[in-house]
């Protein structure tokens, strides 16, 4: 066993004696020491710690990289007391995990304002494209990237279904549509002002040039629509974003369950599948920032406790 491996064993023993479990830290530090051994390093330096934390090379520093570097920093501080030559990575070497924005939960009136504001965009086809895009996001809760990746063949007008192929994590899913949504998409596809060059791309939603929409252009156009709709931030962390239409879909689905007296828990797994989540726990984030939903959950709990007493 190398000197660093012995030091790691002592470090883990000492920390666990203080009540820390350190299962993840042990795994990560073992991987880090393997990385050092493969490089032939016998001491811990900041540059090698940073290189390992940001593997694979070339990726943008993320919360995960910051966590890995933090684990190394704790071990390095321990080593430094035994070997002053050990370098301890500074705490601000990587940005930490970015805090999630507070979801902007659009009201029905605000959704209507967005669609109305989209009518002020230049050219009739551009208006139709963004009104259709916003409408599809509202009624399906799909990610914007999934929406612009839709092909015409993904729209089954006979069965009223949109198929999301190769979504996040490579998952595919079918999303049933309300008849009104089917009609709206069908009308969009057969508009007389649809660009002639659109026939060259399989995309369902196309730009005025007849090409598939780009996320950067969609986000820019949405900011214009938000401004013209008169929507303003509710706080520094709560600004109207396109992704928040997905939050609205999730929250409205649960609100409907509560109001209809249905079991919200049973609806969670269905909602998770519909949204394309790999695990229902990821769906909880969409539901945690809605005061009305929390109030309904509290009322349900009170009724349950009242009936049990």
Whole-number pLDDT of residue 280 = 63
Whole-number pLDDT of residue 83 = 86
* 137, 177 Cβ separation under 8 angstroms: no
Active site residue 234: no
Whole-number pLDDT of residue 116 = 98
**pLDDT tens, 129-176?**
999 999 999 999 999 999 999 999 999 999 999 999 877 666 789 999
Active site residue 304: no
Within a 10 A sphere around the Cβ of 6, how many other Cβ atoms? Answer: 10
Query: Is 116 in a helix, a strand, or coil?
Result: helix
Distance, CA of 150 to CA of 292 (rounded, Å): 33
Distance, CA of 225 to CA of 130 (rounded, Å): 9
Query: Is 161 in a helix, a strand, or coil?
Result: strand
Catalytic residue, from 68, 73, 143, 247: name it.
143
3-state secondary structure 205-224: CECCCCCECCHHHHHHHHHH
Whole-number pLDDT of residue 264 = 66
Whole-number pLDDT of residue 1 = 65
Full-model pTM: 0.64
The low-confidence residues of the chain, meaning pLDDT below 70, are: 1, 18-19, 57-63, 95-100, 168-170, 264-265, 278-309
Q: Which long-range contacts (CB under 8 A, 24 or more apart) does 210-217 make?
A: 212/148, 212/149, 213/129, 213/133, 213/148, 214/148, 215/144, 215/145, 215/148
Whole-number pLDDT of residue 60 = 47
Whole-number pLDDT of residue 229 = 97
**pLDDT tens, 14-45?**
887 766 778 888 999 999 999 999 998 888 99
Active site residue 286: yes
Active site residue 277: yes
Catalytic residue, from 168, 227, 303, 304: name it.
168
CATH number for the domain formed by residue range(s) 108-229: 1.10.443.10
Whole-number pLDDT of residue 171 = 76
Within a 10 A sphere around the Cβ of 225, how many other Cβ atoms? Answer: 24
Whole-number pLDDT of residue 305 = 58
Sheet architecture: strand order including 155-156: 155-156, 161-164, 173-176
Whole-number pLDDT of residue 309 = 47
Whole-number pLDDT of residue 203 = 97
Query: Is 127 in a helix, a strand, or coil?
Result: helix
């Amino acid at each position: 066993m190398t000197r660093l491996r012995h030091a790691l064993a002592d470090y883990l023993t000492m920390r666990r004696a203080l009540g820390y479990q350190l299962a993840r830290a042990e795994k990560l530090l073992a991987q880090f020491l393997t990385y050092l051994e493969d490089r032939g390093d016998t001491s811990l330096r900041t540059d090698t710690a940073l290189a390992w934390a940001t593997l694979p090379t070339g990726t943008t520093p993320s919360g995960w990289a910051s966590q890995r570097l933090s684990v190394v920093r704790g071990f390095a501080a321990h080593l430094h007391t035994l070997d002053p030559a050990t370098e301890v990575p500074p705490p601000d070497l990587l940005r930490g995990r970015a805090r999630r924005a507070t979801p902007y939960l659009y009201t029905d009136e605000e959704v209507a304002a967005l669609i109305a504001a989209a009518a002020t965009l230049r050219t009739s086809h551009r208006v139709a494209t963004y009104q259709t895009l916003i409408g599809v996001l509202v009624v399906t809760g799909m990610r914007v990237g999934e929406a612009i990746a839709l092909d015409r063949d993904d729209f089954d007008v006979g069965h009223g279904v949109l198929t999301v192929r190769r979504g996040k994590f490579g998952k595919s899913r079918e999303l049933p549509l309300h008849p009104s949504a089917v009609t709206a998409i069908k009308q969009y596809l057969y508009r007389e002002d649809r660009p002639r060059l659109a026939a060259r791309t399989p995309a369902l939603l196309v730009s005025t040039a007849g090409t598939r929409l780009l996320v950067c252009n969609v986000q820019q156009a949405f900011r214009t629509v938000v401004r013209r709709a008169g929507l303003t931030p509710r706080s520094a962390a709560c600004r109207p974003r396109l992704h928040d239409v997905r939050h609205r879909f999730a929250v409205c689905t649960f609100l409907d369950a509560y109001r209809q007296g249905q079991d919200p828990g049973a609806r969670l797994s269905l909602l998770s599948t519909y949204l394309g989540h790999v695990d229902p726990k990821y769906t909880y984030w969409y539901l945690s920032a809605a005061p009305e939903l929390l109030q309904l959950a509290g009322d349900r709990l009170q009724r349950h406790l009242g009936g049990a007493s």
